[in-house]
């Protein structure tokens, strides 16, 4: 029995297990039946084992280069390095959906064994929803359209992975992070649906899945940053975000999930926005499916859409079913979702959070419009068109700045409303900092009104965060006699959700500054050089040393050796064109010297293919772009701090610590 | 709760109304900017014949797909001027690009160019994309390029 036989058999066995488990969980939730729950639990565990076996079967097939498996023949070759062989699991559609299914099975098993202990009935109903989704995905991977184990007459050698996907180790990180983020959001969705079906108007579903939503959001966000880093390091155009339809598909659920993470707090503290929160969860989940549909069905063309696939209609059907059922449930249960109390003053935390939610939804809708407009136009008028980057820049940049502004004021306002004294106390220093930020941008010569505004808002927000930390540390010092380091550690440990959130905000500030500076301040030159010639780019001098051929087992390269000097730099870069046997298209591989101040980004744009007498070299000096990845890391760290379980604390400690620090309840 | 009395403790209804008005105003502005930007940033994807038939004028951002005509591809490394003819069997258009051609832009193979027509009828391309990957169908109207270097 081959690895593929094992995987194929395991997948096929998992489908009835998931269907059985779904039925058992639904029965258990309806009848409060203990045996049904036990059965659903064991089904979830068995499904996890079986899907894991299928993944093992696929990895085994890849590592043994079993080209009788179509997926292996299309995405692997004898000379593919082991690292890229292993990550070929997500190099194409079928393997990606297998990975997706594995993550979903893991989340399902977690809810089955842990979730049902905390909230037996609600989690059991949610388990039924998750198992139904799992059954759909298992159905998908066992239909010929997306079956990873379809067998063929084995060729002598495989096709090898898509060249773009075997060029950089970040491929090991970016897709799984996004899949984890996408799939883990199934859990809040399943709880929300369960809550609607059971007619529980309360907030228990939301509290139970808060951490899942946070982790899913963080993975999605870090995955998006990793993806833009990959695009920057691999695609050789010196940029990191192109408003490509599939990038849009990833950012849309992240936007609505961000809105949700904030509006959750309003529901927890003020018992408002119940219908709104349910709608946001449903929307976010639907957008993750839409993203998969756009990526995998071939309806939009992008760097990510590998091939046309027959699973498009299935995914579309799934999407429509989810939207119709969720909206129907929501409308049906609306009367039970009555809210108590109203929003406080316009300058209250809940009001700002609400407004922030509106801006996030506006950003999502406009991205959605730009992404789907070509499809709509083609359906209506038959015209083929695409929506250029200026549309997105023009619409989304002001919205992003508005969000940056709200990020600075929302957390600084108390619930219900703020007094004049509070406003002065909270905003004097940040406003001064913001003015300094604007002056700094002008002094540094960072061009453009948007860039100056970004610097001002970034300084404003950063100051609010620093102020919060300083006050927290000071208060702990006064009350508990703790030193600054100890006080800081205790703040993060005991109020992780709040201070982790501030760290996330700081990461977003870093990203905003990096984006604004790199967009406004990039210097680009392009020149044809003979060996020995030099081109100046900003403060750097780039000399073409030689053009040479290089061969690696799985690919051939044409390398331009460059010597970099000036501005204290003394280094060598080797941008190259890479030729893979499975593709007639050469892949550009940029040479990048990354630094805290700027990145020197070099591209071999063209060369003399007869005598190697000249090469056209494009050189970009991109300021602060490395801080974009650092900002992503800070966001991830903040999310970890916020997601870690907090120690239970006594009432006395709570009052003593929080009252002097916070203006909130 | 920290001993602060809200300065503007307005009744819930009116503050809700303020929020509603603010949200509506935002929605209207965003919708207006979005729809307006959508119209001015739609890049039509045409074959050379379609471009001629529709009388696409100068300064209209357009994307053309076709074949690089045999014997027309020329790149001058010093001026970095790229010129070639792009055709679809019926209509041929002279394309002028500024900058190095994408790797493996070849004659008698597919290409997609984005840019604008000049007054003299030549097409000034800001982006040239070679369409070579055997995984994709040869260029036909209606298929936007799968990947390339912007």
What are the tens digits of pLDDT across the range A336-395? 776 666 777 888 888 899 899 999 999 999 999 999 888 888 888 877 888 878 899 999
Q: Are A243 and A370 in contact (CB under 8 A)?
A: yes
User: Model pTM?
Assistant: 0.89
What whole-number distance in Å separates Cα of residue A649 and Cα of residue A265?
A: 20
Residues of chain B numbered 87-126 and touching chain A (CB < 8 Å): 99-101, 103-104
The distance of A470 to chain B (nearest Cα, Å) reads 18
Give percent of chain A above pLDDT 90: 59
Give me the residue from A343, A585, A664 closest to B12, CB to CB: A343
Which tokens hold the place of A615? 């090469």
Residue A470 touches partner B, C-beta closer than 8 Å: no
B16, B34, B101 ranked by CB distance to A342: nearest: B16
- DSSP-derived secondary structure letter, A411: G
Report residue B142 CA to chain centroid gap: 14
Q: Are B127 and B102 in contact (CB under 8 A)?
A: no
pLDDT at B95 over 90: yes
Q: Among all residues of chain B, which has the CA nearest to that of A662?
A: B2
Would an 8 Å CB–CB cutoff place A348 in contact with chain B?
A: yes
CA dist., res. A162 & res. A158, Å (int): 12
Q: Are A526 and B99 an interchain contact pair (Cβ–Cβ within 8 Å)?
A: yes
Residue of B6, B104, B132 with shortest CB distance to A344:
B6
pLDDT(A556) > 50: yes
Half-sphere CA count of A344, side-chain side, radius 13 A: 23
List of long-range contacts for A59-64, beta carbons under 8 Å, 24+ apart: A59/A3, A59/A86, A59/A89, A60/A3, A60/A4, A60/A6, A60/A7, A61/A2, A61/A3, A61/A4, A61/A7, A61/A149, A62/A86, A62/A88, A62/A89, A64/A3
**The pLDDT of residue B43:** 84
**Across the A/B interface, how many CB contacts are shorter than 8 Å?**
180
Structure confidence at residue B140 as a pLDDT band (50, 70, 90): very low
Find chain A residues with C-beta within 8 A of B143's C-beta: 301
> What pLDDT, on the 0 to 100 scale, is given for residue A49?
97
- The answer to whether residue A352 neighbours chain B at the CB level (below 8 Å) is no
Tell me which H or E stretch contains B46: strand B42-46
Residues A526, B77: C-beta atoms closer than 8 Å: no
State the average pLDDT over residues A427-439: 94
Q: What residues of chain B lie within 8 A of the CB of A586, using their CB? A: 103-104
Asked whether the beta carbons of B67 and B111 are under 8 A apart, the reply is: yes
Answer whether A346 sits within 8 Å of B12, measured CB to CB: no
- Are residues B6 and A618, on separate chains, in Cβ contact within 8 Å? no
Q: What is the pLDDT of residue B78?
A: 84
Q: Which residues of A touch B33 (CB under 8 A)?
A: 394-395, 398
- Judging contacts by C-beta atoms under 8 Å, the chain B residues touching residue A388 are 41-43, 61
Band (B8; pLDDT cuts 50, 70, 90): very low
Interchain CB contact of B39 with A (< 8 Å)? no
**Is B104 close to A586, i.e. CB distance below 8 A?**
yes
A559-608 confidence digits (pLDDT tens): 999 999 988 888 999 999 888 877 766 778 899 999 999 999 999 988 88
Closest CA to A69 of A6, A16, A15, A12: A6
Q: How many Å apart are CA A207 and CA A186, to the nearest integer?
A: 15
């Amino acid at each position: 029995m081959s690895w593929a036989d094992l995987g194929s058999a395991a997948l096929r066995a998992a489908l009835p297990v998931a269907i059985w488990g779904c039925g058992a969980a639904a029965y258990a939730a309806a009848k409060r039946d203990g045996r049904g729950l036990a059965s659903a639990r064991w089904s979830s565990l068995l499904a996890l084992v079986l899907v894991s076996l299928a993944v093992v079967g696929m990895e085994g097939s890849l590592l043994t280069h079993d080209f009788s498996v179509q997926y292996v023949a299309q995405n692997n070759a004898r000379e593919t390095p082991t690292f890229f062989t292993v990550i070929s699991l997500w190099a194409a559609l079928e393997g990606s959906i297998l990975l997706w299914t594995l993550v979903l099975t893991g989340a399902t098993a977690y809810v089955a064994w842990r979730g049902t202990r905390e909230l037996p009935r609600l989690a059991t109903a949610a388990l039924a929803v998750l198992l139904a989704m799992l059954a759909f995905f298992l159905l998908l991977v066992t239909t010929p359209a997306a079956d990873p184990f379809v067998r063929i007459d084995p060729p002598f050698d495989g096709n090898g992975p898509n060249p773009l996907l075997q060029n950089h180790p970040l491929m090991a990180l970016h897709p799984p992070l996004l899949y984890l983020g996408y799939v883990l959001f199934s859990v809040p969705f399943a709880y929300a649906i369960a809550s609607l079906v059971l007619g529980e108007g309360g907030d228990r579903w939301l509290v139970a899945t808060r951490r899942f939503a946070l982790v899913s959001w963080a993975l999605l966000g870090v995955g998006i940053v990793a993806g833009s880093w990959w695009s920057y390091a691999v695609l050789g155009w010196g940029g990191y975000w192109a408003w490509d339809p599939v990038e849009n598909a990833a950012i849309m659920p992240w936007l609505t999930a961000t809105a949700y993470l904030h509006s959750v707090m309003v529901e927890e503290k003020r018992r408002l926005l119940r219908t709104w929160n349910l709608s946001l969860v449903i929307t976010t989940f639907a957008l993750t499916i839409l993203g998969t549909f756009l990526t995998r069905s071939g309806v939009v063309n992008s760097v990510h859409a590998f091939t046309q696939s027959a699973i498009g209609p299935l995914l579309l059907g799934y999407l429509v079913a989810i939207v119709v059922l969720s909206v129907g449930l929501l409308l049906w249960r609306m009367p039970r979702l009555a809210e108590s109390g109203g929003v406080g003053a316009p300058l209250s935390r809940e009001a700002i959070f609400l407004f922030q939610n509106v801006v996030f939804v506006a950003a999502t809708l406009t991205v959605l419009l730009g992404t789907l407009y070509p499809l709509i136009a083609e359906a209506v008028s038959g015209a083929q068109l695409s929506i250029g980057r200026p549309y997105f820049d023009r619409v989304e940049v002001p919205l992003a700045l508005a969000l940056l502004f709200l990020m600075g004021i929302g957390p600084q306002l108390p619930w219900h409303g703020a007094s004049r004294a509070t406003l002065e106390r909270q905003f004097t220093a940040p406003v001064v900092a913001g003015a300094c930020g604007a002056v700094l941008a002008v002094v540094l010569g960072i061009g453009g009104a948007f860039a100056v505004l970004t610097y001002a808002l970034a300084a404003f927000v950063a100051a609010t965060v620093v102020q919060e930390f300083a006050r927290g540390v000071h208060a702990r010092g006064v009350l508990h006699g703790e030193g600054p380091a100890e006080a800081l550690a205790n703040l993060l440990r005991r109020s992780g959700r709040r201070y982790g959130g501030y760290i996330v905000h700081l990461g977003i500030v870093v990203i905003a500054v990096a984006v604004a500076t790199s967009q406004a301040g990039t210097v680009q030159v392009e020149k044809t050089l003979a060996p020995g010639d030099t081109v100046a780019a900003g403060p750097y001098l780039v000399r073409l040393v030689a053009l040479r051929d290089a061969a690696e087992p799985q690919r051939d390269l044409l390398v331009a050796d460059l010597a970099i000097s000036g501005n204290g730099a003394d280094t060598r870069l080797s941008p190259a064109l890479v030729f893979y046997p499975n593709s007639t298209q050469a892949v550009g591989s940029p040479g990048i010297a990354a630094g805290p101040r700027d990145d020197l980004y070099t591209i071999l744009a063209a060369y003399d293919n007869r005598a190697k007498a000249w090469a056209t070299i494009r050189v970009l000096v991109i300021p602060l772009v490395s801080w974009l990845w650092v900002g992503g890391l800070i966001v991830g760290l903040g999310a970890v701090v916020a997601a870690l379980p907090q120690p239970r604390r006594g009432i006395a400690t709570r009052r003593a610590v929080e009252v002097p620090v916070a203006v909130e309840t | 709760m920290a001993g602060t009395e809200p300065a503007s403790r307005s009744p819930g209804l009116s503050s809700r109304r303020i929020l509603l008005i603010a949200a509506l105003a935002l929605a209207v502005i965003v919708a207006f900017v979005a729809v307006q930007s959508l119209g001015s940033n739609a890049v039509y994807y045409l074959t050379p014949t379609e471009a001629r038939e529709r009388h696409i004028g100068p300064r209209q951002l357009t994307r053309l797909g076709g074949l690089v005509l045999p014997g027309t591809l020329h790149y001058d490394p010093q001026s970095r001027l790229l010129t070639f003819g792009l055709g679809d069997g019926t209509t041929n258009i002279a394309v002028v690009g500024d900058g190095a051609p994408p790797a493996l832009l070849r004659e008698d193979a597919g290409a997609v160019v984005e840019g604008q027509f000049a007054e003299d009828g030549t097409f000034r391309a800001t982006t040239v994309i070679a369409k070579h990957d055997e995984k994709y169908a040869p260029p036909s109207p209606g298929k936007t390029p799968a990947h390339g270097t912007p």
